Structure 1
Amino acid sequence: MIYLDNAATTLKKPDCVKEAVLRAMDTFGNASRGTHTPALDALRMLMEARIALASLFGLSADPMRVVFTLNATLALNIAIAGIKGHIVTTSVEHNSVLRPVYRHGNYTIVPCDALGCVSTEAISSAIQPDTEAVVLTHASNVTGNVFDIQSVGKLCAAQGLHFIVDASQSAGLLPIDMKNISALCFTGHKSLFGPQGTGGLCLGPDYMPESLYVGGSGHHSFDLKHPQQLPDALEAGTQNAHGIAGLLAGVQYIQSTGLSAIHNQADTLARLFAHSLADIPGVTLYGDLAAPLRTPVVSLNIEGYDSAQAAGLLFEKYGIAVRAGTHCAPLIHDRLSLSGSIRFSFSHFNTREETQLAIDAVCTLANR
């Protein structure tokens, strides 16, 4: 099988990730629920993971402001629920942003252009007197376009707004500095190489949302209110220490291999794939494929095929695993007048040989 669905989840993980999960399952007790070695080992690992993630994301504040969640969806729900005023977001967002914003009710959606791009100026123009926050993805899960979170962060800081960033597609691939970011939401199972069921919320010093749930914390058990200090305030219940051990190993792998090396290898394959298909009759590519900075995602359609039909044929006939449909990002598909698209997403574990086989398969389907 040629696995090119890494934007959904990375299938190939570094060996150290699997080893860390297995070791944790044999040795970890419940963190903060005992003073014996298994419980303390789990607690130490959680702290080590917070420190590693704070370093990766340029979080200069206390690493205790790294809060673990099940995934980026939960992190985004927590972050967005803390906003009471008007929200500015964009049409390139995933439903994990859009649906919490819709539920919030007071929002403006900035449209993207025909390439799926959104400028800082367009976001600035949507800010109203009652705007409290801007919510923006760092990279589109449909087009691979990367958005300028640095300039949007400066805009928000200048206007006293919170800035919430969805880093689901960029964490582990692109450099991130949390300066001027109030909340960075990430998932562990994509390019951080962690297990599914891991993710988190990194909070800048200026933002403290309320938890969506409360419960056990391992201390202050006679208090009627849940503890208010971080990370406990947003981490009720037992943590997924086994999974987070794998996430920590994934982050350590990224740090030892080098963020740029990981991105450059996957980016080279994605650009080879897109460039080879750009002039093939019947193949339509989406996004700003000439941009100097992209994530390794290429979405396309093949004339004469529904996206799901083409994805099914790619797997059945050629063993190529991709994703079809709207990828939980309906508004960008509306903007591009699409009912769906076929998404190829590359990892640095993929090879040129696999990429060439994918090119040949798409060409064969298009020629039919």
Structure 2
Amino acid sequence: MPHIYFDNAASSWPKPPEVAEAMIACMEEAGANPGRGSHSMAVRASRIVFEARTLAAKLFGIRNPNDIVFTSNATAALNLAIKGFVCQGDHVICTSMEHNSVRRPLEYLRRTRGVQITYLQADKQGKISVDEAAAAFRPETTLFVCSHSSNLLGTIQPIAEFAELCRHNGVKLLVDAAQTAGTVPINVAEEGIDMLAFPGHKGLLGPQGTGGLYISPEIDLEPILHGGTGSQSEEVDQPSVRPDRYEAGTPNTVGIAGLAAGIKFIMKETVEQIHRKEWELTQLMMEGLRNISGLRILGPDLGEDKTGIVSFVVENADASEIAFQLDREYRIAVRAGFHCTPLGHETAGTTATGAVRASVGYYSTVEQVECLIKAMEEICRGYKNQGKEKN
């Protein structure tokens, strides 16, 4: 087990103790199917799921909790939003910073439904120009998809400004909040977000296998999963009521109980304080790493707003080898490679090399950041000495 964990952009760890406690209590006391029975255990399970839905609605400024659909992760939520909304011949706008969870469903629809896609090109820091976004709308544009924050660079996009453009053009906005849910303030009503996809296992501090999608009451998605819901069972079609319409099959009640506990913890600490803490740690990390010879930090400059991600490359070194050394020699866990965002690496100019990504979380500390900086000083010094020996 790593001594220092800097892979929170993939899954947050550790979790608050309350998360595991809630999951165990659910399994022991509410192990029945929610919404499928009238006995006391089933009712208890239903209440757990509804509490989680209500907490998520409060966190994201959503008026009706039933507009939140629970999924197995953000990828499932994005697939439901994209495949359930986009029709034959539609035009979709997205960005060069998107995760494969957005790009692959869209490219699938390009092949199967003749969907047209415009990828807005970000600058080297991962920022998208609002003016260029405004120029991309067409009469056939129906959807604008945007990652709230890059999982490679940590860049935060101007969602409210994109939402205003969408309203002006009669287009719906889908936001991928994989890197911001729980760590950056989000209010769908105030910011004009029509659909919000979020994972439970990252900033919300819940377990893996949880996530969700907010769907505006103005949108009726075509379900991509059909089956039992416990409601309108006599009908051959999926129920028309939410959230049942989009939640076929037995839900991950135990995971949802843990997610509810994670959200409670965040609301107690406040998203604003969590974001400030993570930002300060990334600034400290960037200050230390930028002075190391042969190491280049990617993304926003020091002092700019971003999520808790610091990605970097080392001259004449393979990113995976760096990550391996950090794990085996220093017991520091980071992520290396292409982070499921090839478009992001094209934008950053790291397609040939990939990058090392260190991502802080709620439980990260100043001492841990200093350990990473010291480790990278030693590693980079070793590569520099190897280069001298070869010459």
Same fold (TM over 0.5): yes
Give the AA of the match of 1:32.
Answer: G
Asked if 2 retains the 8 angstrom alpha-carbon contact of 1:311 and 1:323, the reply is yes
2:41 pairs with 1:31:
no
Q: TM-score, normalised by structure 1?
A: 0.98
- For residues 335-354 of structure 1, the aligned pairs below 5 Å read 335-338=347-350, 339=352, 340-354=354-368
Give the AA of the match of 1:100.
Answer: P
- For residues 234-313 of structure 1, the aligned pairs below 5 Å read 234-290=246-302, 292-313=304-325
Q: Aligned partners of 2:303 and 2:344: how far apart in 1?
A: 18
Give the AA of the match of 2:279.
Answer: D
2:48 pairs with 1:67:
no
* Cα shift readout 1:329-364 (whole Å, capped 9, x = no counterpart): 001211222131000000120111111000001111
Cα deviation for residue 291 of structure 1 reads 5.3
Asked if 2 retains the 8 angstrom alpha-carbon contact of 1:178 and 1:204, the reply is no
Secondary structure (helix, strand or coil) at the match of 2:188 reads coil
Matched residues, number? 367
Cα deviation for residue 275 of structure 1 reads 1.3
- 1:365 is aligned, of 379, 383, 386, to 379
Q: Aligned partners of 1:353 and 1:220: how far apart in 2?
A: 56
Q: Aligned partners of 1:206 and 1:139: how far apart in 2?
A: 25
2:170 pairs with 1:170:
no
- For residues 1-368 of structure 1, the aligned pairs below 5 Å read 1-28=3-30, 29-60=32-63, 62-81=64-83, 82-84=85-87, 85-105=90-110, 106-179=116-189, 180-290=192-302, 292-338=304-350, 339=352, 340-368=354-382
* Cα shift readout 1:76-129 (whole Å, capped 9, x = no counterpart): 001011122110000100000000111121211111112221122221111112
* Cα shift readout 1:208-249 (whole Å, capped 9, x = no counterpart): 211101100113222111111110000001110000000000
Asked if 1 retains the 8 angstrom alpha-carbon contact of 2:283 and 2:303, the reply is no
Q: Aligned partners of 1:97 and 1:291: how far apart in 2?
A: 29
Of 199-208 and 15-24, the range deviating more from structure 2: 199-208
**Can you give the 5+ residue segments of structure 2 that lack an aligned partner in the other structure?**
111-115, 383-391
Q: Aligned partners of 2:132 and 2:18: how far apart in 1?
A: 43
Give the AA of the match of 2:178.
Answer: S
Q: Aligned partners of 1:190 and 1:37: how far apart in 2?
A: 32
Q: Aligned partners of 1:58 and 1:270: how far apart in 2?
A: 27
Determine what percentage of the aligned residue pairs are the same residue: 39
Secondary structure (helix, strand or coil) at the match of 1:333 reads helix
Q: Aligned partners of 2:224 and 2:5: how far apart in 1?
A: 36
* Cα shift readout 1:126-151 (whole Å, capped 9, x = no counterpart): 11121001000000000011001111
Asked if 2 retains the 8 angstrom alpha-carbon contact of 1:143 and 1:298, the reply is yes
Cα deviation for residue 205 of structure 1 reads 2.3
Asked if 2 retains the 8 angstrom alpha-carbon contact of 1:59 and 1:204, the reply is no
Asked if 1 retains the 8 angstrom alpha-carbon contact of 2:12 and 2:202, the reply is yes
Q: Aligned partners of 1:237 and 1:321: how far apart in 2?
A: 36
* Cα shift readout 1:131-181 (whole Å, capped 9, x = no counterpart): 001000000000011001111111111211000000000000011111321
Q: Aligned partners of 2:10 and 2:79: how far apart in 1?
A: 19
Asked if 1 retains the 8 angstrom alpha-carbon contact of 2:97 and 2:347, the reply is no
Asked if 1 retains the 8 angstrom alpha-carbon contact of 2:231 and 2:244, the reply is no
Q: Aligned partners of 2:303 and 2:142: how far apart in 1?
A: 31
Give the AA of the match of 1:77.
Answer: N
- Relative distance call for 1:264 and 1:125 in structure 2 (3 A) is same
Of 4-13 and 259-268, the range deviating more from structure 2: 259-268
Secondary structure (helix, strand or coil) at the match of 1:56 reads helix
Cα deviation for residue 46 of structure 1 reads 1.0
Q: Aligned partners of 1:122 and 1:104: how far apart in 2?
A: 24
Q: Aligned partners of 1:292 and 1:42: how far apart in 2?
A: 44
* Cα shift readout 1:251-307 (whole Å, capped 9, x = no counterpart): 000001111111211211111001111132100110012353210100001122100
Q: TM-score, normalised by structure 2?
A: 0.92
Asked if 1 retains the 8 angstrom alpha-carbon contact of 2:286 and 2:302, the reply is no
Of 217-226 and 43-52, the range deviating more from structure 2: 217-226
